[in-house]
Chain A
Amino acid sequence: MPEIQYREALRQAMTEEMERDPNVFLMGEEVGQYNGAYKISEGMLARFGPMRVIDTPISEGGFCGLGVGAAMCGLRPIVEFMSWSFSWVAIDQLVNNAANIRYMSGGQFKIPIVFRGGNGIAHQLGATHSHRMDAVYSRIPGLVVVAPATPYDAKGLLKSAIRCDDPVIFLESELMLNDRGEVPAGEYVLPIGKADVKKSGADVTLIAWSKCVKLCLKAAGELAAIGIDAEVVDLRTLRPLDEQTVAESVRKTHRCVIVDEDWPYCGMGAGIMERVYALTFDDLDAPVRRVCSEDAPSPYNHHLEVLMQPSVEKVVAAAAEVCYR
């Protein structure tokens, strides 16, 4: 199986879907002439031309609205955010329009659109460009939220997202784009709403998604060294949540740590924790623990930026705590 970068996996998914369906097109800042701010859409303008790979002005509210309108008219837009932090200025289009039009039109319109881009804390982008939008969109009925952790998952899920008839919030990370992983050459899709057990274990369930999955796998390695067999559940889709996989895992291990880089209060992990308690309370041998970022704006200083986020050490400590070790 060829090993490719996360960014190539995204490009393959978009390219394959655009070849498959003439209604699919890509739009966003720098996606065309500049070949993508992070080179995800490299070569796509040359391949598909300016009618299907469209450079937009710096006006998220405008081009997101354009995308929603295009989707209402039957096209399948892929809208790239240079950073998900910029979606704050387009939130009316995403939440009020994309998420609600199907419901408010009594099903007369569907909105098959994908909004995608880098989410969360990258590297010294400061407080305004380091937002984690996971919880912001996962709480909105009418949206689908996907956050894959590996190139394989990214390609399979982006293809499913493009084919989905509802608006999909697709969360990537600038820090994962260079990650390499095995991706089959041929056509495949992965189901939205299905978590993946990245490592099975018996003693504690580590729940994560996106780049925290990698962190949890490292932590699981260190936990093994102290005799704790951790299971790593990669949610992959945040909405709808794969409650079955989560519950099965926690019922097996009786202990759970949720790891994400969101803030603690009302963060994504808080919502998942509520689900874990609701589903598995009688199976828990310890309170669910969360490892998340500190309740503060993201610092520009790199040391502080690292310090405020989850780390392998923090995950190991939390897992040891719920195992009463």
Chain B
Amino acid sequence: MPTEITMPQLSDTMTEGTLVKWKKKEGDAVKQGEEIADIETDKATMPMEAFEDGKLAWIAIDEGQKVKVGQTIAVLAVAGEDPAAVKETALAGHQAKAVEADLPASESPLPQELGEEGATAAAPSEQVSPAAQPPAQSAPRDASAAGGRVAVSPLAKRLAEELNIDLTAVTGSGPNGRIIQRDVEQAAQHKPGATVKVPAAPSPAVAPLPVPAAPAMPARVGSGKKEVLAMTKIRSVIAHRLQMSKQNIPHFYEMVDIDCEQVNGLRAKLNESLEKQGIRLSIADFLAKALAVTLLDHPDMNATFDGQQITRHGDVNLGIAVALADGLIVPVLRSVEQMGLKEIRQRSADLIDRARRQKLRQDELSGATFTISNLGSYGIRQFTAIINPPEVGILAVGSAEQRPVVVAGQIVVRTMMTVCLAADHRVVDGSTAATFLRTFKQLMEEPALMLA
């Protein structure tokens, strides 16, 4: 008998895993205990071992694919079995199952499928308007009564009848999309003109003010318009990684205001002389330069943490958060501590440009030791950012703007910028972050110090 290899449960909380890498190909011989794949769980990436000897006959899922615990990921042909024949049988069985699973879906338009797939694939902005449902729309309901099924609890079904709610327009929140009591009650609340039994409010102690007879007002009927979007690959990655970061890393935040008068003056002077070369420095270049110097001075912050050990890095590889139409990408400016402002400008402009055109190589997207996220151009005064693991810090930069500040007992107008450092409290403490920010502030306010 060939052996099915299933997604193992590698931690108590693991419900699904991503196959990061296959270490064997179809046809390869494997020994019991030999590593055959790397599995990314909710917590870490772990090697998966073969439980018995054999030949890897069929790899059922591709690298990068995420499947539930217990789902078949490969089939092993044991001694005396022909891997090719085993693969054929396994494939046939798999396809039969897939067809089975597809059948009801293609024949019966279940409401949740209409919502999730039908709506995006067939009619991206299908309007769901319970008030004005065209007659043709009642057809699917008949069809579902004849062939398909709407999963609904008996109570919810009875309630829907009483409240005159069309169940095909209700999304179920129970297991397998089952429509339950609360779904119908919620639908009823959003339905115009529906009478919903609401527990009577306790009578107020004082007599209510007389209310003038309300003029007859037309009911406000929402269009009910909505659009359901599948998660793009990049959104899934962002969702997964940032949720993991915010859940696992004890973030703490420190903010500091920076006087930008001097750095702006220097920038204007340098830009004058660089104009002929077609180079125009931005404040972001000074931020990058100052960060590089600060990080070399505070190696605790130029570090990565894998949950076990802290690695301090001798190079400053600066991740630069770049917004895309749908998502966010962080190209890495490597060895920025070796660069002058001009080179920083040229290289970061190139990286950002290629990031927006999605032309970056994989190695340009990894290996950062610290990240900077700048929303200054959006007029944001101050914000907090989520650490990009395994890094231990990220600097969130707001816009440089004119603010009234007190200098030597006088209120004066200065160009100020607020930056917020988010740091991983497992690795560094408040005072580490504070001295880091102090150095950074000094360098930005007195840029000549960067030469010192």
Contacts and interface: CB of A to CB of B under 8 A. Distances in A.
A binds B: yes
Interface of A: 254, 281-286, 324
Contact of B174 (A281, A282, A283, A286): A286
Contacts, number: 26
Contacts of A324: 173-174, 180, 182
A254 B173 contact: no
Contacts of B180: 285-286, 324
Nearest to B161: A282
Across the A-B interface, the 6 shortest Cβ-Cβ residue pairs:
A285-B155, A285-B181, A285-B153, A282-B154, A284-B154, A282-B158
A207 to B, nearest CB: 18
Contacts of A286: 153, 174, 180
26 contacts: A254-B155, A254-B181, A281-B154, A282-B154, A282-B155, A282-B157, A282-B158, A283-B154, A283-B155, A283-B158, A284-B153, A284-B154, A284-B155, A285-B153, A285-B154, A285-B155, A285-B156, A285-B180, A285-B181, A286-B153, A286-B174, A286-B180, A324-B173, A324-B174, A324-B180, A324-B182
Interface in B205-261: none
Interface string B164-193: 000000000110000011100000000000
Determine the main DSSP class of B at the interface with A.
helix
Contacts of B157: 282
A254 B180 CA distance: 11
A284 B178 CA distance: 13
Contacts of B174: 286, 324
B353 to A, nearest CB: 49
A314 B182 CA distance: 25
Contacts of B173: 324
Interface in B142-169: 153-158
A254 B46 CA distance: 44
Interface of B: 153-158, 173-174, 180-182
A284 B156 CA distance: 8
A10 to B, nearest CB: 41
A239 B203 CA distance: 46
Most buried by A among B155, B181, B182: B155
A286 B182 CA distance: 12
A276 to B, nearest CB: 12
A299 B181 CA distance: 41
A286 B153 CA distance: 6
Nearest to A321: B175
A286 B157 CA distance: 12
Contacts of B154: 281-285
Contacts of B156: 285
A104 B156 CA distance: 48
Contacts of A254: 155, 181
Most buried by B among A254, A284, A285, A286: A285
A174 B180 CA distance: 42
A193 B181 CA distance: 32
Contacts of B158: 282-283
Given A284-B154, A286-B153, 6 more contacts: A283-B158, A285-B155, A285-B180, A324-B173, A324-B180, A324-B182
Contacts of A285: 153-156, 180-181
Contacts of B182: 324
B149 to A, nearest CB: 15
B405 to A, nearest CB: 50
A222 to B, nearest CB: 21
Contacts of A281: 154
A281 B181 CA distance: 14
Nearest to B174: A324
B252 to A, nearest CB: 30
A285 B180 CA distance: 6
A178 B241 CA distance: 56
A324 B154 CA distance: 15
A132 B158 CA distance: 38
Nearest to B180: A285
Contacts of B155: 254, 282-285
Contacts of A283: 154-155, 158
Contacts of B153: 284-286
A246 B182 CA distance: 23
A2 to B, nearest CB: 42
B216 to A, nearest CB: 38
B197 to A, nearest CB: 14
A72 B156 CA distance: 53
Nearest to B159: A285
A284 B173 CA distance: 16
Nearest to B182: A324
A279 to B, nearest CB: 12
A254 B181 CA distance: 9
A281 B154 CA distance: 6
Contacts of A282: 154-155, 157-158
B157 to A, nearest CB: 8
A5 to B, nearest CB: 42
B181 to A, nearest CB: 4
A281 B157 CA distance: 11
A229 to B, nearest CB: 15
A107 to B, nearest CB: 42
A285 to B, nearest CB: 4
A289 B154 CA distance: 15
A319 to B, nearest CB: 15
A38 B158 CA distance: 52
A281 B360 CA distance: 59
B163 to A, nearest CB: 15
A156 B181 CA distance: 40
A101 to B, nearest CB: 42
A75 to B, nearest CB: 50
A286 B156 CA distance: 10
A254 to B, nearest CB: 5
